[in-house]
């Protein structure tokens, strides 16, 4: 079981000194990876389904991961998730490749399609066809990362006669993970990604999602065993609970800290080093 930490770019970790200390502490404790969350803007006032208050600080995911990379050596760095249909795929491909280069090939590209309409409206991104747009954007980005002479011609992205250097360190490109709790998300993971990511789940909900991923793999002709399952549990996790997640088929627990300061996050890291890392 891989143990990871969620939230290196928000809450207390929006402070650079805290983020640097937490990244270093997590790596020293044996955490496998650090993950960001993403909301470019948030509805104000907060209304459902917005998950956090509008004044919650979120450092941009890739800036935060590049910063964490500079303060670590080996720990992997994941976006959990980037809301892909809100982004320009050509610009994002450059940003992701740059982060992979600066981190020495440690990036995990976690993708989601988003659900906050006010956020899309503020950015100027269409709220319709989010899934189709995300799949096409990913294909266009992979073209930029892997083709000698990149080109892509689709409904939502179109280019030729261009190039973008540097290419990612990881070959053929950084690991892709699709997040989401819908049949469409399971399908995207099965068809297009190395892994699937579920957020704020208990063990029973995780089992249901994993069955969805398994069914999607069967439909896509993909070996389910080739999919890496990552989950952020809904609450705190002790060793017995972590073992239940492992038995359900989870390969990586991305633990959400709920601390309000650096000391609280470092305390969680110490507890995980003592109780979970290397023991599940």
Displacement of CA 254 from its chain's centroid (Å)? 10
Residue 3 predicted with pLDDT over 90 = yes
pLDDT category at 116 given cuts 50, 70, 90 is very high
* 235 pLDDT more than 90: no
Q: CA–CA separation, 33 vs 16, rounded Å?
A: 18
The torsion defined by the Cα of 222, 255, 269 and 63, in degrees rounded to 10, comes to 80
For residue 2, name the pLDDT band (cuts at 50, 70, 90).
very high
Domain ranges of the chain: 2-275
Closest to 68 measured CA to CA, from 110, 141, 6, 138: 6
Is the pTM above the cut of 0.95?
Answer: yes
Model confidence pLDDT, tens digit, residues 8-61: 999 999 999 999 999 999 999 999 999 999 999 999 999 999 999 999 999 999
Output DSSP code: residue 225. Answer: G
Instruction: In whole angstroms, give the CA distance from residue 119 to residue 9.
Output: 18
Alpha helices per DSSP H over 107-194: 117-123, 130-146, 183-192
Which superfamily does 2-275 belong to? Luciferase-like domain (3.20.20.30)
- For residue 6, give the nearest of 272, 274, 248, 280 by alpha carbon: 272
**For the segment 76-115, what is each residue's pLDDT rounded down to a tens digit?**
999 999 999 999 999 999 999 999 999 999 999 999 999 9
**82's tokens:** 């980037």
Burial degree of 260 (CB within 10 A; 0-12, 13-18, 19+): exposed
Residues 170-221: tens digit of each pLDDT? 999 999 999 999 999 999 999 999 999 999 999 999 999 999 999 999 999 9
Q: Which two tokens stand for residue 127?
A: 């709220």
Tell me the pLDDT of the chain averaged across its residues: 97
| C-alpha span between 238 and 274 (Å, rounded) | 11
């Amino acid at each position: 079981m891989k143990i990871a930490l969620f939230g290196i770019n928000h809450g207390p970790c929006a402070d650079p000194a805290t983020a640097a200390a937490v990244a270093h502490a997590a790596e020293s404790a044996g955490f496998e990876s650090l993950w960001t969350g993403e909301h470019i803007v948030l509805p104000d006032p907060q209304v459902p389904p917005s998950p956090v208050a509008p004044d919650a600080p979120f450092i941009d995911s890739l800036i935060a991961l590049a910063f964490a990379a500079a303060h670590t050596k080996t720990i992997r760095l994941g976006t959990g998730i980037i809301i892909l249909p809100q982004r320009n795929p050509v610009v994002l491909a450059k940003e992701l490749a740059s982060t992979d280069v600066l981190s020495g090939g440690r990036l995990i590209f976690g993708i989601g399609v988003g659900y906050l309409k006010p956020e899309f409206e503020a950015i100027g991104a269409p709220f319709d066809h989010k899934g189709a747009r995300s799949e096409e954007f990913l294909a266009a980005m992979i073209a930029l990362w892997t083709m000698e002479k990149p080109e892509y011609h689709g409904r939502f992205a179109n280019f030729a006669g261009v190039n973008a250097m540097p290419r990612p360190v990881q070959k053929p490109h950084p690991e892709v993970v699709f997040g989401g709790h819908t049949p469409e998300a399971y399908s995207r993971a099965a068809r297009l990604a190395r892994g699937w990511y579920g957020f704020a789940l208990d063990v029973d909900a995780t089992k249901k999602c994993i069955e969805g991923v398994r069914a999607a793999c069967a439909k896509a002709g993909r070996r389910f065993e080739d999919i890496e399952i990552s989950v952020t549990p809904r609450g705190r996790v002790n060793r017995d609970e972590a073992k239940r997640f492992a038995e359900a088929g989870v390969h990586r627990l991305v633990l959400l800290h709920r601390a309000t300061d650096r000391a609280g996050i470092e305390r969680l890291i110490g507890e995980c080093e003592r109780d979970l890392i290397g023991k599940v």
